[in-house]
Structure 1
Amino acid sequence: MTDDGSARPKRRASKTAKRPPFVLNGQEVAPGTREQIPIPVGTFLTHEELRLRVTVVHGKKTGPTLMLTAGIHGDEYNGTEIIRRILRQPRLSRLRGTLIAVPIVNRPGFVTRSRYMPDRRDLNRLFPGSATGSLGGRLARVLTEEVLPHADAVIDLHTGAINRPNFPQIRISADCPESRELARIFDPPVMLIGHAREGTFRHSCLELGKPSLLYEAGEALRLDAPSIRFGTEGILAVMQQLEMLPTSKRSRRRTPTLVSHRSYWERSPAGGIFTPLVALGKAVEKDSLLGFIADPHGSKETPVKATRAGVLIGRTNEAVADEGDGLFHIALLDDLESAEQSIANTADAMPSLDNREDDHPVPYDSLNDTIS
């Protein structure tokens, strides 16, 4: 009431209520800013501290929180390069929501150019981790318990192993329809639908109810253009669909994604010198010739044939093989004719990124094994 007894006019609620800061490990990130936050994990034998370095970009306006991770295997560099490019996006100045980026999860492996932790254990078999376990287990716990709960969705970036390139593909869990919808927006050439292996980061995401995409492309220890471009474009498309970024005026490559529920490795029928004859992304029919194994002493050559029809999504580039070694990774499909055309369209429609998104061009093209 006013002094004369009349009713006091109501104040209108502010239309631009300030967004609260994002808080991680006790550190605040104000709206419209970004911070790199180091989270303590453990101590090396040199008494140096291992920290998980997380970059947080907190938008001025509300929206979802997307988490990007790379380098869970320390020698897989394409994902780190993809996240670097995302973080340099000028459009992030208009970000809605929050972007959590961890370009290098396995820092010890990254420094030593190794897939594994210093104790030679695979970090992607140690999730959700333990506060009293190995250094890898502690690192897995920090990522799972201190960072992952903040996310609404996750995109985890990987490559094949050394000398084992992967055709660009998304892997999702069969029992997570939200992940499939995000994969559709990502628009990969190939989508593999299966069950998340226990001990992996993807399994931890599933356990916490976080939709997640696992992007596989290229091989360890090298960068290649298709892997980086497909990954960068896919993440930007997901962020636009989530209304985290303004829509780009540039038209996107759109080709049907090949969906597979099963895959298998064609293995070496004998030991010897290995010569592949089929490129990544090629559709193969049952009994088609994939390559051959030659006796180093010149006595005979053993053909390697496809036992089932599908599309080649992974391959070894090793020159030699022992009997039983995995040579060709094949995704099983029903319609090979349309698959062949879809893959051809994908190869012809390499994502065309502008100079701001392709600021450090990588000349190697793993699809055609050429340097532009």
Structure 2
Amino acid sequence: MQLNGLTIQPGERVMTRLVISRLPSGTIIDVPVHVFRSREPGPTVLLMAGMHGDEVNGVETIRRLIQQDLLRPLRGTIIAIPLLNIYGFLNFSREVPDGKDVNRSFPGNSRGSLASRVAHRFMREIMPLVDYGIDFHTGGASRSNHPQVRCLLDHEPSATLARTFAAPFTLHAKLRRGSLREAAFGLGKSIIVYETGESLRFDETGIELAIAGTYRVLHHLGMVAEATPATQPSIECWRGRWLRARFAGLFRSQVRKGDYIEQGQVYGIITDPYGEMAVHLESPVSGYVVGLNHMPVVNQGDALLHIGLTEPAPVPTEDTDAPAPTL
């Protein structure tokens, strides 16, 4: 295996650093990459976190896997990158300093923006080696995600990985332009995304579920001897809908992440700061709360609740011109 100018032999464990750029001060920014190779041939699995620098749950997940010496494949190779976006991590930010999102910059360009250069280096050095991957993320902007996997449920290799991981929820998520998933899909590689918690906050339950789910995937691929079975199958949501604030004010939720809510159920209240107005918010749909806004001060249009819907969008009948609902 060739990586970053190194030849990594079967049975070796190596940590190398991909030099990305320098800070204006001259400090080198490099990304540590851990490689764990078995002596037996097998698939190569990528475990990556910190695409967004303020999403710390995935960083902690991979850190624990490395620190506890849990990444010893019986066959194949594991590539573990605990933190890709060093810039965002240093600045408590989702983006790199130019304000761009690395996960909207793939496959990247060696002469493009900083985000594009990070993506390009990754695609050149890491992606050619990978067969499967788990990309760890966290909710942003004070929005917290219940532990969930996002993938193409209508793509069998991705769906199999997601069902093996067995997070509490699995969401059918279309490919986003410029994302790592889209770039990998174009190369015939399957990468699923795991989400839990909110930015800059540890979600201990979500981290533990991430470690257990990762081990189930590795066990499924024959790379570890055993894994803890999931206590229940993942709930599959084929559509998602954000409920947004119709009024500005102070938002108080009356539901929790993971709850099932009925159409017409009051899920929260928006009040003004002065005690003159209070609006009860009713859900227009039935579904599971897979994401929740914890920011008490909201503006019109702010996302409050992410609802996972278990039924696919209805297909229009031949005698109607109405389009099918989209995500």
State the TM-score, normalized to the length of structure 2. 0.91
Q: Partner of 1:10 in structure 2?
A: none
Q: 1:129 to 1:305 in 2, by over 3 A?
A: same
CA-to-aligned-CA distance 1:40-82 (integer Å, 9 cap, x gap): 2233322333223211111122111100110000010110111
Between Structure 1 and Structure 2, how many residues are aligned?
Answer: 312
Report the Cα distance in structure 1 between the residues aligned to 2:129 and 2:303, rounded to whole angstroms: 39
Report the Cα distance in structure 2 between the residues aligned to 1:273 and 1:162, rounded to whole angstroms: 16
Q: Which moved more, 1:229-238 or 1:41-50?
A: 41-50
CA contact (8 A) 2:238 2:311 kept: no
Report the Cα distance in structure 1 between the residues aligned to 2:163 and 2:309, rounded to whole angstroms: 19
Q: Partner of 1:308 in structure 2?
A: 285
- Once the two structures are superposed, the pairs formed by residues 98-137 of structure 1 within 5 Å of their partners are 98-137=77-116
- Matched position secondary structure for 2:97: coil
Post-superposition offset of 1:150: 0.2
Q: Partner of 1:45 in structure 2?
A: 24
Q: Which among 289, 294, 301 is matched to residue 317 of structure 1?
A: 294
Report the Cα distance in structure 1 between the residues aligned to 2:267 and 2:78, rounded to whole angstroms: 43
- Matched position secondary structure for 1:35: strand
- Matched position secondary structure for 1:266: strand
Q: 1:68 to 1:172 in 2, by over 3 A?
A: same
One-letter amino acid matched to 2:53: G
Q: 1:281 to 1:42 in 2, by over 3 A?
A: same
Q: 1:194 to 1:162 in 2, by over 3 A?
A: closer
Q: Which among 160, 183, 189 is matched to residue 181 of structure 1?
A: 160
1:68 correspondence with 2:57: no
Q: Partner of 1:139 in structure 2?
A: 118
Q: 1:299 to 1:92 in 2, by over 3 A?
A: closer
1:333 correspondence with 2:310: yes
Post-superposition offset of 1:94: 5.2
Report the Cα distance in structure 2 between the residues aligned to 1:239 and 1:68, rounded to whole angstroms: 11
CA-to-aligned-CA distance 1:315-359 (integer Å, 9 cap, x gap): 111111111111001011249xxxxxxxxxxxxxxxxxxxxxxxx
Gaps of at least 5 residues in structure 1 are: 1-21, 336-372
One-letter amino acid matched to 2:234: T
Q: Which moved more, 1:89-98 or 1:117-126?
A: 89-98
Q: Partner of 2:138 in structure 1?
A: 159
Q: Partner of 1:346 in structure 2?
A: none
Q: 1:322 to 1:238 in 2, by over 3 A?
A: same
CA-to-aligned-CA distance 1:169-196 (integer Å, 9 cap, x gap): 0000245210100111101111111311
Q: Which among 197, 217, 225 is matched to residue 246 of structure 1?
A: 225
Q: Which moved more, 1:52-61 or 1:283-292?
A: 52-61
- Matched position secondary structure for 1:144: helix
1:77 correspondence with 2:56: yes
- Matched position secondary structure for 1:87: helix
Report the Cα distance in structure 1 between the residues aligned to 2:72 and 2:200, rounded to whole angstroms: 32
State the TM-score, normalized to the length of structure 1. 0.81
CA contact (8 A) 1:311 1:330 kept: yes
State the Cα RMSD in Å. Answer: 1.6
CA contact (8 A) 1:176 1:211 kept: no
Post-superposition offset of 1:91: 5.0
Q: Partner of 1:224 in structure 2?
A: 203
One-letter amino acid matched to 1:137: S
Q: Which among 285, 292, 298 is matched to residue 262 of structure 2?
A: 285
Report the Cα distance in structure 2 between the residues aligned to 1:106 and 1:36, rounded to whole angstroms: 17
- Once the two structures are superposed, the pairs formed by residues 182-221 of structure 1 within 5 Å of their partners are 182-221=161-200
Report the Cα distance in structure 2 between the residues aligned to 1:134 and 1:215, rounded to whole angstroms: 27
CA contact (8 A) 2:219 2:225 kept: yes
Post-superposition offset of 1:252: 2.2
Post-superposition offset of 1:23: 1.9
Gaps of at least 5 residues in structure 2 are: 313-327
One-letter amino acid matched to 1:168: P
Post-superposition offset of 1:144: 1.6
CA contact (8 A) 1:34 1:55 kept: yes
CA contact (8 A) 2:236 2:310 kept: yes
Larger gyration radius, structure 1 or structure 2: 1
- Matched position secondary structure for 2:305: strand
CA contact (8 A) 1:272 1:321 kept: yes
- Matched position secondary structure for 2:125: helix
